[in-house]
Amino acid sequence: MKPLAVLSVASEVFPLVKTGGLGDVVGALPAALAHEGVAVRTLVPGYPAVLAAIPHPDVVYALPRLFGGAARLLAGRAGELDLLALDAPHLYGRPGNPYLGPDGREWPDNALRFAALARAAAELGRGAVPAFHPDIVHAHDWQAGLAPAFLHYGTGPHARTVMTVHNLAFQGQFPHELLAKLGLPTRAFAVDGVEYYGSIGYLKAGLALADRITTVSPTYAGEIRTPELGMGLDGLLRTRAPVLSGILNGIDDSVWNPATDPLLPAAFDARQLPRRGANKSALQARFGLAPDPGALLFGVVSRLTWQKGMDLLHEALPAIDRAHAQLVVLGAGDKPLEHAFTAAAAHRRGRMATLIGYDEALAHLVQAGSDALLLPSRFEPCGLTQLCALRYGSLPVVARVGGLADTVIDANEMALAASAGTGIVFSPVSRETLEIAIDRTAALWKTPVVWRRVQVRAMSTDVGWTRPAKRYAALYRDLVAHDPA
Ligand code: ADP
């Protein structure tokens, strides 16, 4: 089979820049796709952390005037990643969070920062760098959403385009006065172009103009076509349903492997489950909980936001109390929720602890040391933490939405009778149903033999990238074969 060349375009890439699942996916997919005969180059903004990762880059292209300054495309390898960094100090020469300034607000020039990324992607998609002719430009989320638009409204032959939605809640909307500055023609400001309720919608543009649209789970691909979860874009997505599909995310199973994880006090696998106990003890010690191996220990690794249902969890804490269970919360997000969880923990010393912050290493310990992981999301495009939880034998307790519905099998009575079930799934999403799910988890905990069986099944769930990578490769090949440039 002819190898395919793909330019992946995103604002985050693990391990260099990550604020959430987007970074994980963009970082892990290239290595998995390499096994499918797809060569991926990843274009990201030249943030300081990215430039530091390619200290001796090749300068492959110059963009002398890119929104108020000179820019260059730098090529280099960082680990397994074949990177193209858009070096534009006037846009990206700022340390810290890729989207927010030191005051915690969006950078005021984010419209230009990410239009620049898309412009560079479009130039590459038109063959600007002679040694690199991508067959496909694959844009991730709103930050790359204008890439299909620049290609569509430009001239000459160009790569086909795929737009992937990692979260429809983030759409990138900016004033229509920017149109000329962005270099888009007047006709682009139309319902079937970049116009979105009188503004310019970056994600909307990608969804309207890409050759194919994917999102990160089959269930979410359906949900976003409904008014309830379509975030104002459901009409467009219904129109584009023939080219819309859902491909589940995986996790990097070399980073997330309990048998080799250097971040754990005790490595383990499904055949050595008792060794997991040392991680539970370490987690209890780290969070100042009572050192009780018999207590059911719930974990949370999440953004503390409405989307993640964290307000519902806060309301449902009495169910955790009733079960005499323990809870560790690792997360950051909305200030009122941060305060609420910190205060709740202060009232439950030894039984509950909250750590506000983002701590990759600690996330591993929570996965390996907790007995169950709570994810009461109101919507969840895919979700990665439940995949880590499955692999680490922490039973996911999840709302039946999006990728959570696609990846966790409810351990109800019939499932157990059929030797199935990998977690607890509840629906609809409410405080009451979450409390019932917590009660069900506590009931299951009281039958250790059954718990252990569910845990072993959870740990044998295929959560890696091999299967998803085959689906992306098939989609790319189908696109190139049936929809040639
Ligand atoms: P989202 O991208 O919506 O936040 P995902 O489940 O897709 O949710 O991805 C979240 C990623 O971020 C996972 O890799 C998870 O382990 C990680 N993560 C979230 N919060 C924290 C935290 N407080 N500390 C460490 N890792 C976190």
Mutate to test the pocket of ligand 1, among 14, 302, 356 (most ligand atoms within 8 A of CB): 302
Residue 1: pLDDT over 80? no
Arithmetic mean of pLDDT over the chain: 97
Residue 484: pLDDT over 90? no
Instruction: Read off the pLDDT of each residue in 404-419 and give the average, rounded to a whole number.
Output: 97
In the structure encoding, which two tokens stand for residue 91, read together?
A: 């846009």
Protein residue with its CA nearest to atom 26 in ligand 1: 360
pLDDT digit string (tens) for 294-347? 999 999 999 999 999 999 999 999 999 999 999 999 999 999 999 999 999 999
Cα 91 to ligand 1 centre (Å): 26
Residue 307's pLDDT is: 95
pLDDT digit string (tens) for 24-57? 999 999 999 999 999 999 999 999 999 999 999 9
- The identity of residue 84, as a single letter, is L
| Torsion of the alpha carbons at 410, 414, 418 and 421, rounded to the nearest 10 | 10
Residue 412: pLDDT over 70? yes
Atom of ligand 1 nearest to the CA of 357: 23
Mutate to test the pocket of ligand 1, among 253, 303, 356, 408 (most ligand atoms within 8 A of CB): 303
Cβ proximity of 416 and 472 under 8 Å = no
Atom of ligand 1 nearest to the CA of 385: 6
pLDDT tier at 2, thresholds 50, 70, 90:
confident
pLDDT digit string (tens) for 78-99? 999 999 999 999 999 998 899 9
pLDDT digit string (tens) for 200-232? 999 999 999 999 999 999 999 999 999 999 999
Kindly list the protein residues whose Cβ atom lies closer than 6 A to any atom of ligand 1: 20-21, 24, 167, 301-303, 330-332, 358-360, 363, 382-385
Ordered structural domains, the chain, with CATH: 4-250+466-481 (3.40.50.2000), 273-460 (3.40.50.2000)
Residue 72's pLDDT is: 98
Cα 61 to ligand 1 centre (Å): 34
In the structure encoding, which two tokens stand for residue 426, read together?
A: 């509840």
Cα 331 to ligand 1 centre (Å): 8
Residue 153: pLDDT over 70? yes
Atom of ligand 1 nearest to the CA of 386: 6
Residue 485's pLDDT is: 58
Protein residue with its CA nearest to atom 15 in ligand 1: 385
Cβ proximity of 166 and 140 under 8 Å = yes
pTM over 0.75: yes
pLDDT digit string (tens) for 373-391? 999 999 999 999 999 999 9
Cα 437 to ligand 1 centre (Å): 22
Instruction: Read off the pLDDT of each residue in 238-257 and give the average, rounded to a whole number.
Output: 95
pLDDT tier at 483, thresholds 50, 70, 90:
low
Half-sphere exposure of 302 (CA within 13 A, CB side): 28
pLDDT digit string (tens) for 456-473? 999 999 999 999 999 999
Residue 450's pLDDT is: 98
pLDDT digit string (tens) for 267-281? 999 999 999 999 999
Of all residues in the chain, the percent with pLDDT exceeding 90 is 96
Protein residue with its CA nearest to atom 20 in ligand 1: 302
Cα 21 to ligand 1 centre (Å): 6
Cα 192 to ligand 1 centre (Å): 34
Cα 235 to ligand 1 centre (Å): 30
15 prior amide bond cis, ω within 30: yes
Cα 359 to ligand 1 centre (Å): 10
Cβ proximity of 397 and 454 under 8 Å = no
